[in-house]
């Protein structure tokens, strides 16, 4: 979903794994917005991005499952924010880059905070585990 001159507000009610990726066969359509980018997947057991996602404020929500960051997620602009919420675990091998970042897991864990010092978490802007923030 792309909004070159606006915002994306979408809800995907599919169950199972919901995957955000660039449009197959139409490479010019990417997961970007010049404004906000919001996706709610209320029934997904896993919500994941396998291609980059960007917007001024990016909010990605999996209230019934896990979230996998498998490609960069970028908050852009003056009020940049990336907000990821999930009922289960939040992880993956991608990165998050924004001046403001929020990870919220209701029942799971977030990243690998136990293995990193506070300085490492602050410097690499990857994930912080439950009750462990930067």
Give DSSP secondary structure letters for 53-82. EEESEEEEEETTSEEEE-S-EEE-STT-EE
Point out the least confidently predicted range of 70-79, 111-120, 123-132: 123-132
Asked if residue 125 has pLDDT above 60, the reply is no
pLDDT in tens, 105-124: 998 888 754 334 455 444 44
Domain boundaries, the chain: 2-121
Ramachandran angles phi, psi of 122, nearest 5°: -65, -40
pLDDT class of 71 with cuts at 50, 70, 90: very high
User: For the CA atoms of 17, 20, 24, 30, what is the dihedral angle to 10 degrees?
Assistant: 180
Q: Is 16 in a helix, a strand, or coil?
A: strand
* Mean pLDDT within 42-67: 96
Q: What is the mean pLDDT of the chain?
A: 84
Of 66, 62, 106, nearest in space to 89 by CA = 66
| Verdict on whether the full-model pTM lies above 0.85 | no
């Amino acid at each position: 979903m792309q909004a070159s001159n606006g915002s994306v507000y979408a809800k995907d009610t599919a169950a199972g794994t919901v995957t955000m990726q660039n449009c197959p066969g139409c490479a010019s359509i990417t997961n970007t917005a010049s404004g906000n980018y919001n996706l709610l997947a209320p029934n997904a057991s896993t919500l994941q991005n396998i291609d980059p996602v960007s917007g001024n404020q990016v909010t990605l929500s999996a209230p019934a499952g896990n979230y996998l960051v498998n490609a960069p997620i970028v908050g852009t602009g003056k009020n940049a924010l990336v907000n990821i919420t999930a009922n289960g675990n939040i992880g993956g091998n991608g990165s998050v880059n924004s001046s403001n970042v929020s990870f919220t897991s209701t029942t799971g864990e977030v990243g690998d905070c136990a293995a990193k010092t506070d300085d490492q978490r602050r410097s690499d802007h990857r994930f912080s585990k439950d009750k462990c923030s930067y």
